[in-house]
Copies of this chain bind each other. A is one copy, B any other.
Amino acid sequence: MNLEMTTLDGQASRCEADGKAIMSLIEELFPICRSITGSGLRRTLNILQRHVPLVVNEVPSGTEVFDWVVPNEWNIREAYIEREDGRRIVDFAANNLHIVQYSRPIDATMSLADLRPHLHTLPDRPDWIPYRTSYYSENWGFCLTQRQMSSLGDERYHVVIDADLAPGHLSYGELLIPGQLDETVLFSCHVCHPSLANDNLSAVAVATMLGRYIQTLRPRYSYRFLFVPGTIGSLSWLARNESAIGRIVHGLVLSCLGDAGAMTYKQSRRGNAVIDRAVAHVLRHDAATHQIRPFVPYGYDERQYCSPGFNLPVGCLTRTPNGEYEEYHSSADNLSLLRPENLAHSLGVLQQIVAVIEGDAVYRNRNPKGEPQLGRRGLYGAMGGGRAAASDQMALLWVLNLADGSHSLLDIAEQAGIPFQTIRRAADALIAADLLEIASSAP
């Protein structure tokens, strides 16, 4: 693995191109009406397949996955509310958030009083359409702006939902990048939301580009990217892959990676897994402010990966977390909320995290009694010039001092307060000078 490619300098030159590529993929995916099953979800996975060799899995409706059952497949063609004069007030064709996901078919004329319980708005945000679902209890409904709602008079309305809710399949995408080891790093994102941009097309697109990037490496670990419908999708994958779950050694759930907020990391249930430390280390040395939060059993699919029967070392990386930006779960979570530079920055942070995971190992100082004479080996001042030199010098001394077979490079980077990549370069220089040897590749 060429670690230099993952340095901030390397990223800087690719940043603009990355941002554009991610944004362009999001723009293509945005109009599609995704749900936890159905043709919109399938079309989305097919588009991702143009970028990475995604395998699309199909799980039949009715399949039992732990305590759950895969629901019927939902496909919608048309949905609207029409006045008696034939004018359409609310139309799925205008915005796919107008329909409550998993609405059953209906074609009826009814009074406003009868219609009202099926209408959902955001009274405080009169121009936004909310996002609502009813996956597991059969129902129907429309989401509309408060302004639309206010315009409804006491007349009769023609309500049409032309949808199928019938046995079919749940689809999810899986990208496997084999590494030198069977030990696997998991990246998971939910791909079931309709036209919502930050939650979660931002992460779907960033994960796709991260997958492309890792394909260009010869990684030590194997990598598994999951593009799954929330909850039922991750549960389906877990149920179908129980024997392989023990090989997952690090993991991240990704979401909300395009807004302008600072990076936020929610730790795995374990709290002190290597992934928890690696992410915290990268964020601490990244220029941006950031937040580290302890695990709570609410959020995205980390709820499933971190359930006590699995307890996988899987954290959750976002910019502004779910529910903490006001556009969340509304039509305002659209393309205008995203910035290419934020998306590229999120990708860069993930690449740095991968570099830590890939580059970490336990070394042993081959000359542990006293310091070796670095000067005659050209290691004093030989690693770089200018202001970086002092930090490089200290990195050499830290690695020599702590490379006793019990500290990983990440341990050393944390104790030294020096970025991992500098510590890693120092280790490489010491290996080249025959002063260091590998003790264990598994930290």
Instruction: State how many residues of chain A have any CB contact under 8 Å with chain B.
Output: 42
Choose one: B369, B394, B402; the contact of A309 (CB below 8 Å). B369
A371 touches B136 (CB 8 A): no
Q: CA of A198 to CA of B309 in the docked complex: distance in angstroms?
A: 52
Answer whether residue A124 sits at the interface, using C-beta atoms and an 8 A cutoff. Answer: no
Residues of B within 8 A of A67 (CB): 367, 370-373
Contact with B along A40-67 (1 / 0, CB 8 A): 0000000000000000000000000111
Answer whether residue A68 sits at the interface, using C-beta atoms and an 8 A cutoff. Answer: yes
Residues of B within 8 A of A369 (CB): 66, 238-239, 307, 309-310
Contact with B along A367-397 (1 / 0, CB 8 A): 1111111011000000000000000001001
B66 touches A398 (CB 8 A): no
A368 touches B400 (CB 8 A): no
Residues of B within 8 A of A367 (CB): 66-67, 309
Which of chain B's residues has its CB closest to A377's CB?
B67
**Given A238-B369, A303-B397, 8 more contacts at CB 8 Å?**
A67-B367, A136-B376, A238-B370, A296-B394, A296-B398, A297-B401, A306-B401, A309-B369
Choose one: B297, B311, B375; the contact of A398 (CB below 8 Å). B297
Closest beta carbon of chain B to A3's beta carbon, Å:
23
Residues of B within 8 A of A66 (CB): 367, 369-370, 372
Q: CA of A66 to CA of B401 in the docked complex: distance in angstroms?
A: 15
Whether A370 touches B309, Cβ cut-off 8 Å, given contacts A298-B394, A376-B136, is yes
Answer whether residue A308 sits at the interface, using C-beta atoms and an 8 A cutoff. Answer: yes
Contact with B along A295-316 (1 / 0, CB 8 A): 0111000011011111100000
B309 touches A401 (CB 8 A): no
Whether A303 touches B238, Cβ cut-off 8 Å, given contacts A269-B401, A298-B397, A308-B403, is no
Which of chain B's residues has its CB closest to A136's CB?
B375
Contact with B along A399-426 (1 / 0, CB 8 A): 0111110000000000010000000000
Number of copies: 3
A339-372 interface with B by 8 A CB criterion: 365, 367-372
Residues of B within 8 A of A303 (CB): 371, 397, 401
Answer whether residue A235 sits at the interface, using C-beta atoms and an 8 A cutoff. Answer: yes
Q: CA of A239 to CA of B416 in the docked complex: distance in angstroms?
A: 28
A402 touches B370 (CB 8 A): no
Consensus secondary structure, chain A interface: loop
B304 touches A371 (CB 8 A): yes
Which of chain B's residues has its CB closest to A235's CB?
B370
Residues of B within 8 A of A404 (CB): 308, 311
Answer whether residue A137 sits at the interface, using C-beta atoms and an 8 A cutoff. Answer: yes
B308 touches A401 (CB 8 A): yes
Which of chain B's residues has its CB closest to A406's CB?
B308
- Give 25 pairs: A residue, B residue, CB < 8 Å, sorted on A: A65-B370, A66-B370, A67-B370, A67-B371, A67-B372, A67-B373, A68-B373, A136-B376, A235-B370, A238-B369, A239-B369, A269-B401, A296-B398, A297-B397, A297-B401, A298-B394, A298-B397, A304-B370, A307-B365, A307-B400, A308-B401, A308-B403, A309-B369, A309-B370, A310-B368
Q: CA of A158 to CA of B304 in the docked complex: distance in angstroms?
A: 82
Which of chain B's residues has its CB closest to A295's CB?
B401
Q: CA of A402 to CA of B311 in the docked complex: distance in angstroms?
A: 10
Residues of B within 8 A of A373 (CB): 67-68, 136
Residues of B within 8 A of A400 (CB): 297, 307-308
Residues of B within 8 A of A397 (CB): 297-298, 303
Residues of B within 8 A of A309 (CB): 365, 367-370
Q: CA of A372 to CA of B310 in the docked complex: distance in angstroms?
A: 14
Q: CA of A11 to CA of B367 in the docked complex: distance in angstroms?
A: 44
